Amino acid sequence: MKIVRKNNPILVIHGGAWAMPDDAVAAHENGIRNALAAGWAILSHGGTAVDAIQASIASMEDDEIFDAGRGSFLTRDGRVQLDALMMSGRDLRAGGVASVERIRNPIHAARLVMDRSPHVYFTGSGAESFAAEHGMQLVDNEELIIPRERERLAEFHRDEAAGYPDLTFAGIALALTGPVANLSTRRGPEDRSGSRQLPEAPVPQPPANPISESTRPIAATFAAAPHIEEDHLAPDPVLMQTAVDGAVEEGLPAELRPLDPTLHSHDTVGAIALDTRGNLAAGTSTGGTLSKSPGRVGDSSLIGCGCYADNEAAAASLTGWGEPIMKLVLGKWAVDRVRSGASPQQAASDAIAYLQARLGGRGGIILLGPDGRLGIAHNTPRMAWGLATDEGQQIGTVRHP
The residues of the shown chain that bind ligand ASP, judged by CB under 6 A, are 16, 67, 266, 268, 286, 288-289, 298-300, 306, 319-320, 322
Q: Return the residue nearest ligand ASP (CB atom).
A: 322
User: Measured from the CB of residue 3, what is the shortest distance to ligand ASP in angstroms?
Assistant: 34
| Nearby residues of 128 by Cβ (< 8 Å), 6 or more positions away | 100, 101, 102, 103, 138
User: Measured from the CB of residue 223, what is the shortest distance to ligand ASP in angstroms?
Assistant: 25
User: Measured from the CB of residue 171, what is the shortest distance to ligand ASP in angstroms?
Assistant: 14
360 vs 139: CA distance, rounded Å:
38
Identity of the residue, 39 or 288, whose beta carbon is nearer to ligand ASP in the bound complex: 288
User: Measured from the CB of residue 299, what is the shortest distance to ligand ASP in angstroms?
Assistant: 5
Identity of the residue, 342 or 353, whose beta carbon is nearer to ligand ASP in the bound complex: 353
Identity of the residue, 187 or 382, whose beta carbon is nearer to ligand ASP in the bound complex: 382
User: Measured from the CB of residue 14, what is the shortest distance to ligand ASP in angstroms?
Assistant: 9
User: Measured from the CB of residue 131, what is the shortest distance to ligand ASP in angstroms?
Assistant: 20
SS3 of the chain: CCCCCCCCCEEEEEEEEECCCHHHHHHHHHHHHHHHHHHHHHHCCCCCHHHHHHHHHHHHHHCCCCCCCCCCCCCCCCCCCEEEEEEECCCCCEEEEEEECCCCCHHHHHHHHHHHCCCCEEEHHHHHHHHHHCCCCCCCHHHHCCHHHHHHHHHHHHHHHHCCCCCCCCHHHHHHHCHHHHCCCCCCHHHHHCCCCCCCCCCCCCCCCCCHHHHHHHHHHHHCCCCCCHHHHCCCHHHHHHHHHHHHHHHCCCCCCCCCHHHHCCCCEEEEEECCCCCEEEEEEECCCCCCCCCCCCCCCCECCCEEECCCCCEEEEEECHHHHHHHCHHHHHHHHHHCCCCHHHHHHHHHHHHHHHHCCCEEEEEECCCCCEEEEECCCEEEEEEEECCEEEEECCCCC
Give which of 213, 333, 318, 343 is closest to 268, Cα–Cα: 318
- Rounded to whole angstroms, the maximal C-alpha distance in the chain is 71
Identity of the residue, 20 or 281, whose beta carbon is nearer to ligand ASP in the bound complex: 20
User: Measured from the CB of residue 235, what is the shortest distance to ligand ASP in angstroms?
Assistant: 25
Identity of the residue, 69 or 370, whose beta carbon is nearer to ligand ASP in the bound complex: 69
Identity of the residue, 277 or 327, whose beta carbon is nearer to ligand ASP in the bound complex: 327
Identity of the residue, 8 or 293, whose beta carbon is nearer to ligand ASP in the bound complex: 293
User: Measured from the CB of residue 54, what is the shortest distance to ligand ASP in angstroms?
Assistant: 19
Identity of the residue, 67 or 149, whose beta carbon is nearer to ligand ASP in the bound complex: 67
User: Measured from the CB of residue 23, what is the shortest distance to ligand ASP in angstroms?
Assistant: 19
Identity of the residue, 187 or 264, whose beta carbon is nearer to ligand ASP in the bound complex: 264
